[in-house]
Structure 1
Amino acid sequence: MTTEPSSPRTAARAVDLTKIYGKDDTRVVALGGVTVEFTAGRFTAIMGPSGSGKSTLMHCMAALDSSTSGQVYIGDTELSGLNDKELTKLRRDKIGFVFQAFNLIPTLTAKENITLPLDIAGSSIDKEWFDNVIATVGLADRLGHKPNQLSGGQQQRVACARALVSKPEIIFADEPTGNLDSRSGTEVLSFLRRSVREFGQTIVMVTHDPNAAAYSDRVLFLADGQIVDEMADPTAEKVLERMKGFDAVGQQA
């Protein structure tokens, strides 16, 4: 008897997701009925022109913002049915987030910043997992340093390690290399890529940089609040060519 291969697990998904800001003359449709799935253990980049809805999509998926209509699922949990306490717990236990501005606490060491989510939750640290994350992020000799003693790339790697340490279902990264020079950006992207390959982590990253998108398994392209295209196994050249198409459309509009 043959066994059917199991379907890839979905880490997060949106169904007919709509987000509208304002009303009447100030009404803006940031997301216009987006349906999308993010497969577990995959690295997805989200790209599109300014105002296309990419950050809004990420914030709604990460439970940092509520949608106007539609559903968001993290694993099998649908977000709109959760109260504030349940949402806080879900964000703490199942979601990691990496901000462009690092968001480290300046008075804490790198190690204290990394373990902060676990400390707040009153959870014990899995030492083996912590050591794995620190080895992958390459910060073993910087754990006692405060943020102002670290380079931008090191600070962002601390932020990535903080997102990973609680073993979230999914990590959302909003322009994680936007404030970094090219060398530091490469360090962070290589770490994110390794966390997918070696730890089976699921990552969704908003970026405007074709070189950053090339680290992903798949790129979703947004325009005017809709997913208009996607690309598997992207290269920087292919992504740049696709983005030029958006620029051409924008100039014709």
Structure 2
Amino acid sequence: MVKAYGSGETRVVALDHVDVDIARGQFTAIMGPSGSGKSTLMHCVAGLDTVTSGEIYIDETEITKLKDKKLTKLRRDRIGFIFQAFNLLPTLSAIENITLPMDIAGRKPDRAWLDRVVETVGLAGRLKHRPNQLSGGQQQRVAVARALAARPEIIFGDEPTGNLDSRAGAEVLGFLKRSVDELGQTIVMVTHDPVAASYANRVLYLADGRIVDEMYNPTADLVLERMKHFDARGRVS
């Protein structure tokens, strides 16, 4: 896929012929320097942004050909999102925030699945609390549970632990990993943090809008070592 902004001399290529497969039931991290295209890649694959050329499929569905209404429905029914900002409604309790997307879609939650998700993210004793009664880590766990509860085919996380301290971040990453290992979830996460990337099964490295490397079964030290090969402009040494 190609994603470019502007035209002529001012044309900027954010994604330069990127070709990638995301494995089902795996935790994939996307890394790279600022401006490397990692958030653009995630936004295009998730149907939040359009590509200049190329095709994107979620399972058998080519999302690049969908009209707005069908794309909105696909994002609602088949994709989950976790952002750096928790995006919780302050007037709703934790459980109401978790089920909100399904309530809007007019779908009843699968109670057994919902209970399992709540247990996986460790929120059983906090469901009636409003966001202002929860810590940052607990609020992000609510956001994780909200993404998981609708049983999406894939969840995208954009720096999901960026606003958390290291302990709360480790908790949330642990829950994401458990959701992959125990619930069979598929997760794609953009991060700049080698520790966060170490929770993934696979790390993709972007530089200058291209995938330049990948790593399986990463450790924080291996990821950090690989990141040292990028200079300040994101070029590979």
Q: TM-score, normalised by structure 1?
A: 0.91
Q: Which of 86, 89, 92 is matched with 2:73 structurally?
A: 89
Residues 240-251 of structure 1 mapped to structure 2, 5 A cutoff: 240-247=224-231, 250=234
Q: RMSD of the TM alignment (CA)?
A: 1.4
Structure 1: distance between partners of 2:75 and 2:236: 41
Structure 2: distance between partners of 1:219 and 1:205: 9
Q: Which of 52, 62, 67 is matched with 1:78 structurally?
A: 62
Corresponding position of 1:224: 208
Corresponding position of 1:125: 109
Structure 2: distance between partners of 1:58 and 1:81: 18
Structure 2: distance between partners of 1:159 and 1:93: 16
Structure 1: distance between partners of 2:217 and 2:200: 7
Q: Which amino acid aligns with 2:57?
A: Y
Corresponding position of 1:179: 163
Aligned positions, number: 237
Q: Structure 2 unaligned segments of length 5 or more: list them.
A: none
Q: Which amino acid aligns with 1:79?
A: I
Structure 2: distance between partners of 1:32 and 1:248: 19
Deviations 1:94-135 (A, max 9, x none): 100100111111111111110011000000110000000000
Structure 1: distance between partners of 2:53 and 2:2: 5
Q: Which of 116, 122, 139 is matched with 1:138 structurally?
A: 122
Structure 2: distance between partners of 1:40 and 1:92: 19
In the TM superposition, residue 181 of structure 1 has moved relative to its aligned partner by: 0.1
In the TM superposition, residue 26 of structure 1 has moved relative to its aligned partner by: 2.6
Share of identical aligned residues, percent? Answer: 70
CA gap of 1:248–1:90, structure 2 versus 1, over 3 A, is: closer
The structure with more strand, counted as a fraction of residues: 1
Corresponding position of 1:200: 184
Contact (CA 8 Å) 2:230, 2:236: kept in 1 or not?
Answer: no
Structure 1 SS opposite 2:16: strand
Contact (CA 8 Å) 2:94, 2:142: kept in 1 or not?
Answer: yes
In the TM superposition, residue 248 of structure 1 has moved relative to its aligned partner by: 7.0
In the TM superposition, residue 249 of structure 1 has moved relative to its aligned partner by: 7.2
Q: Which amino acid aligns with 2:204?
A: L
Q: TM-score, normalised by structure 2?
A: 0.97
In the TM superposition, residue 252 of structure 1 has moved relative to its aligned partner by: 9.3
Q: Which amino acid aligns with 1:27?
A: R
